[in-house]
A and B are shown apart, each in its own frame.
Chain A
Amino acid sequence: MKRFYPARRMVPLVGMLATALLLIFAFVLGLVSFGKMRQVVTEEFNRQQLVLAQNLAALIQQDLEFLRRELTVLNLSPSVQYSESPSLGSRLRVTLRSIQAGELLEIRRVSSTGLEAVVLDRAGVAHTEQGRFGDDPYFAWALAPRNRNRILLDEPPAYIQARFGPRPLLIMATPQYQDSPDEAHPRPTGRFAGVLLFVLDASSIASRFAEHAKSGATGYAWVIDEEGTFLAHPMPSFVGKNAFKARPEFNPAMGFEGINTIMRDRMLKGQEGTGSYVSGWHRQTVGPIHKLIGFCPVHIDPDRPGRLWSVAVVAPVSEVHGLVASLFMRQFFMQAAIVLAILAGGLSLVRLERHWTQIKKQREREVNLSSRLASLGMLAAGVAHEINNPIAIILGFADILLEKTSPDTEAYAQLKIIERQGLACKKIVENLGRFARIPEQRDETTDLNEEIHRAVAMVTNTLLTDKIQCHVELQENLPRVMGDPQGIQQVLLNLITNARGAMKKEGGVLAVYSRREDGRVAVAVTDTGHGIRKKDLGRIFDPFFTTKAPGEGTGLGLSISHGIIEKAGGTITVESRHEDEAGTEHPGTTFTIHLPIVPQES
C-alpha cells in the first residue's frame, strides 16, 4: 500500500521558506546596520571636517594676529613716527621682507595732514603720493583719540582697490603718534603723526592654509568673507566672486539651495557646525554630488566680533560611503558565507535524517514481513498438522490394498499412483512444517544434561531399529550453560541424526558425554560410523554442504548448529577418521561442543 504524508512533504518546503525568510531578514538587518554604520561613520567624518575647519580658522586668525603685531611693531619705530628719510624706507622694507610674499601688497604711511602718503610697494620701491587721503574712512577713525594703539580692519578705499584689480583686499590701519624717542628726538612729542596702513591680499591670507587642506581623498577647503565672496577656493576663477552667484554661473542646471542656506543661515552668522548638501560638481566632476561640509568662522577683528570670514571643508559623501560600503560588503560576504555554511550543514542534516527515516521504514517493513510470515507459518503449521491425519489414512490403506493386490493387475498400478501422490502430499506437508517452525526465544540458559536426556529419549527407539547402541555418560551436577534450550536441543538432535546416518549400514555405537572442562561445559557426540573425509572436514559447517544423496539432506543442519552455538558464545569442533583413508583403524566422528557456564549471580 502506498501512503502519502502531505504534512511530511511540506517539511522541506517550509524549511526552505523559513531559510529564505531568514536570509532576507538577515539581509534587511544587514542593510539597516549598513545604514546605521554609514550614518555613524559619516557623522564622524564630518566631525573631522569640522575639526579641520577649526584648525584652518585658527591658522588664519594667527596669521592675521601676526600681521597686526608686525603693524604695531612698525608703528613703534621712530623712523616711521617721524617720517625720517631715508631710514623710513629701509625700516618699511624690513617689515615687508618679514611678511609672507603675496599677503602684504603695500605699506602706506599717510601724513598727519592727510595730504601726503609714503608708499612702499611689494618690490620694495618707496614713493610719495599726494592726495586727499584725509577723506578716507580710516583717516577719520584714526583721528579719534580713543583709537590710539588700536588697529582697524577694513575695505580698502576705491583708488587702492582699483590698483590691484578685482581681488579681495583688506586694509589694516593704525593711528600714529610720535611717542618713541630717538637721537633726533630724545623727548617724544606725543603728537598725532598720521596713519600706518597694510594693504593686504585677503585671498592670499585665506588660501595660504586652505589650499593645502585635504579632507579624505578628494575633499578640500574654501573660505568666504562676510559678504559671501570666495577668498579661497581650489577653482582659481571662483576667488573674488560671490559664492551665491558664482556657483549657478558655473553650473546653471543645478539648484544650490542647500549650500546657500548653509552659508546664509549658518556660516555668515558666525556659527560652526556640520551639514550636507547637493553640489553641482566636485573638482573635475560635474553633476549632482552629495557632499558633507564642516565649517567654522574666523574672527578677523578682535575689536569687532561681527567681522568674520568662514572656513568650510567639504568632501563628497560617496567617498565615505564607498569606504563604508566596501567594509560592509566584506562583512556581508562573511555573513553570507556563514549563513550558507549553516544552511549547507542543515541541508546535509536533513538529508541524513531522511536517510535514517528510510532505513527505519525499511526495518519496519522487514518486521512487518517477518511477523506476517510468522502468522502465515502458524497457519501453515496448523494446516500441515490437520492434513497429516487423512494422508496417514490414505497411505495406510493404499499400503494394505497393495499387499492384497497382484502386482501385474491394473488395480495394483492405480494403487501405486494413489500411494505416490499421497507421498507427494506428505512431502509438501513436511516442507510446510519446516517453513512453519519459527524459533522462539524463551530461555537464555540451559541444563545441558536434561537436554541430552530428552534428545536421546526421543531417538532411542529409532536407534534400536537401526541396530545402534546408545551409550550416555553424563557428569552430574553440571552448572547451567548459556544458550536457549530449544536451540541446544536442535543441535544435539542434528549431531545424533548425523551420527545415525553415518552408522546406518552396519550399526555401531553412539556415545554422548558431558563434563566440566576449563570453566566451560563440554558435550561430545561420538559415533563409529564411516567418518568424514579429510578434504570435506573444512567445509562441513558451510551452508548447503552435504555428502548425503540429493534429496536426503539440506546441508543446513551443521551450519545452523554452528550458528546456534556461536550465538550462545560457545564453540563446536569436529574430529574424524574416514574408513577409506589409509591407516584408519577405528573410523568414526566426534563432535565436541563447548558452552560457557552461566555466571553466578552475586
Chain B
Amino acid sequence: MQEKILILDDEVDMLTLLQTIISTKTPHDVVATNNPLELEELMAADAFSLVISDLKMLGRDGLEVIDLVHDKDATIPVVIITAYGSLESAQEVVRHGAYDYITKPFRKEQVLITIERALEWRRITLENMKLKGH
C-alpha cells in the first residue's frame, strides 16, 4: 500500500540517500526537504503517514518537529535519525513521543524495517480508533 512519507534533513546528500533507499525499496511516496521550517507548509499541503527527521538541524531540531507533527495529527509516527553514541538524546526523543530512532551510520535494512513498523503501527492505531469511534 502506497503511503506518503516526509523526510526532513538539512544535509542534502542524506536526504538523497534516504529518498533513494525508500523509493527503490518501497512503493511509498517520498517528499523531502532540507529546510525544516517548511514543515507546516508541506503538512498543510499533503497528508503524510510518516515523518522522518534528523535530530540536529539548522533552524529547528527534531524535538520541535515531533511536537509540531503531533499537534497536527497524533497518529503520524515520527522517526528520528540521530548520531551513533548519543544514547541520551535517543532516549530523550523516544520519551518526547518519537515512535523510534535510527542511529547514524545505519544499514538500509534498519531504515526499511523501522519505516514498515511505523506505518504498521499507524494502520493499527487508525483501525483501533475507527472501531472505537463507531
Contact = CB atoms under 8 A, between A and B. Distances in A.
Contacts of B86: 385
B83 A385 contact: yes
A437 interface: yes
B74 to A, nearest CB: 18
Interface in A431-451: 433-434, 436-437
B107 A433 contact: no
Contact of A392 (B90, B104, B117): B104
A549 interface: no
Interface residues of A, number: 29
B84 A457 contact: no
A396 B85 contact: no
Interface stretch (B17-25, B27-35, B40-48, B63-71): B17-25
A458 B105 contact: no
A461 B90 contact: no
B134 interface: no
A388 interface: yes
A595 B114 CA distance: 36
Contact of A461 (B83, B84, B100, B107): B100
A458 B91 contact: yes
A384 B103 CA distance: 13
Interface in A381-404: 381, 384-385, 388-393, 395-397, 399-400
Given A461-B100, A465-B113, A400 B94 contact: no
A384 B104 CA distance: 11
A429 interface: yes
A381 B87 CA distance: 13
A459 B13 CA distance: 29
Contact of B117 (A429, A457, A458, A464): A464
B94 A458 contact: yes
B54 to A, nearest CB: 9
B83 A457 contact: no
B14 interface: yes
B132 interface: no
Contact of B95 (A381, A388, A430, A454): A454
A429 B11 CA distance: 19
Contact of A389 (B11, B20, B117): B11
Interface of A: 381, 384-385, 388-393, 395-397, 399-400, 422, 426, 429-430, 433-434, 436-437, 454, 457-458, 461, 464-465, 493
16 contacts: A385-B85, A385-B86, A389-B14, A390-B13, A392-B105, A393-B17, A396-B20, A396-B21, A399-B107, A400-B21, A430-B84, A433-B85, A454-B95, A458-B87, A458-B94, A465-B113
